[in-house]
Structure 1
Amino acid sequence: MAPKKILIITGDYTEDYETYVPIQVFQLVGHTVHIVSPGKKNGDYVISAVHDFLPGEQTYTELRGHRIAINYNFDEVNPSDYDGLFIPGGRAPEFLRLNARVIEIVKAIYERKAVIGTVCHGPQILVAAGILKGVCATAYPACEPELVLGGCSFKSIPVDQHVLDKEHKIVTGPAWPSHPAVLRSFLELLGTTITP
């Protein structure tokens, strides 16, 4: 298996696990991972957020997380260079989807039939790019209305499950507990073979 190139688009207050775990898994199996953010260049960083639920609370808590290194210049991204795109969740997608170049990159990668994976609030960017029409997907439950308005066939599933739309090569999960399922399907779509 030849190593693949994966683009990760992220930004400040990206969810900590949803960013670090995919980066490390993709690197572990030998793929090249470019971590980019608008306005950032190689050597810069973004700040992550750690999200969790406490019993009886209606929504998640948020704590400042780690500094996550940017290892590639956003302005040099060429969508045709990548076999896959992964978009972490957290709060970053709500402002990344307003960036015209982010949307242009996502559309171009989708049109190339490259693999796309995302969890939590990451699908907000896919909605903004207009690529979820007719796609079976999931996201953090609070994102359901906008995914449905974006033409998605939304699946409400347990937090540790995922939705794989093989036809469109899009893998989605509701939050970081879905990583084992999301990342397995993402890697399988890339052609990565993992044997126990």
Structure 2
Amino acid sequence: MSKVLILAGDFSETLEVFYPYERLREEGYEPVIASLEKKRLQFVVHDFEPGYSTFTEKLGHGWDADIAVADVNPADYVALVVPGGRAPEYLRNNPDVQSIVQHFFNESAPVASTCHGPLILASSGVLQGRQSSAFPEVAPDVTAAGATYVNSEALVDGNLVTSRAWNDNGPWFGKFIAMLREKAPLNG
């Protein structure tokens, strides 16, 4: 079975991890969640409620990471998914995370990222000269990394598919699945 790596951590957005996870399983790929440590992760739910200037954050599901990023051999995976939430704020500073991201871009392998996930792409130095969507408040980070920010529910730029947030999951991941079928079809 072809494996797809999902970079997640404590306070990753629940819907941005589980929607890709289940869609990948449905397609016949094996999703593997990597984090700083192989441990039980705490995901969160972000929602927009009246009276607040930004989203609220509530505890979501817990889930076990399958592997620590230090133990990941990116060559074992056909694609990469980088969800959002608050986890990218600290994952982006990890050299193993950056090296993993750089591998997928060097190989032109499919990469999907949403919401705050492009923070990891920016810190990994892979956005220069590209177009990327992201949560709108992340736009300055995307442009500082040398990319053009595009407010899009499903933006394709070469091997990269980006979106704004969990409410774009259908269009975003639909384009990613199409790319995955083309660039990394299942054997047999």
Q: Give the TM-score normalised by the residue count of structure 1.
A: 0.89
Question: Structure 2: how far apart are the matches of 1:138 and 1:72?
Answer: 28
Question: Structure 1: how far apart are the matches of 2:151 and 2:6?
Answer: 25
Residue 18 (structure 1) aligns with: 16
Residue 162 (structure 2) aligns with: 172
Residue 71 (structure 1) aligns with: 66
1:93-131 residue CA offsets vs partner (Å, 9 max, x unmatched)? 000001111001110111011100011000000000010
SS in 2 for 1:187: helix
**Contact map agreement 2:69 2:96 (CA 8 A) in 1:** no
Asked if 1:124 is matched to 2:119, the reply is yes
**Contact map agreement 1:80 1:112 (CA 8 A) in 2:** no
Residue 142 (structure 2) aligns with: 147
Residue 99 (structure 1) aligns with: 94
SS in 2 for 1:164: strand
SS in 2 for 1:19: helix
Asked if 1:28 is matched to 2:46, the reply is no
Q: Which of these residues, 37, 47, 54, is aligned with residue 39 of structure 1?
A: 37
Asked if 1:162 is matched to 2:154, the reply is yes
Q: Which of these residues, 113, 130, 140, is aligned with residue 135 of structure 1?
A: 130
Question: Structure 1: how far apart are the matches of 2:104 and 2:52?
Answer: 38
Q: Mind listing any 5+ residue stretches in structure 2 that lack a counterpart?
A: none
Shift in alpha-carbon separation, 1:73–1:146, aligned structure 2, 3 A: closer
Q: Identity across aligned pairs (percent)?
A: 34
Residue 81 (structure 1) aligns with: 76
SS in 2 for 1:59: coil
Q: Give the TM-score normalised by the residue count of structure 2.
A: 0.93
1:122-163 residue CA offsets vs partner (Å, 9 max, x unmatched)? 000000001011111110011000101111111123xxx211
Which segment is superposed worse, 13-22 or 74-83?
74-83
1:62-101 residue CA offsets vs partner (Å, 9 max, x unmatched)? 0111101212343321111111000110000000001111
Q: Mind listing any 5+ residue stretches in structure 1 that lack a counterpart?
A: none
Aligned residues: 183
Question: Structure 1: how far apart are the matches of 2:22 and 2:133?
Answer: 23
**Contact map agreement 2:37 2:65 (CA 8 A) in 1:** no
SS in 1 for 2:67: coil
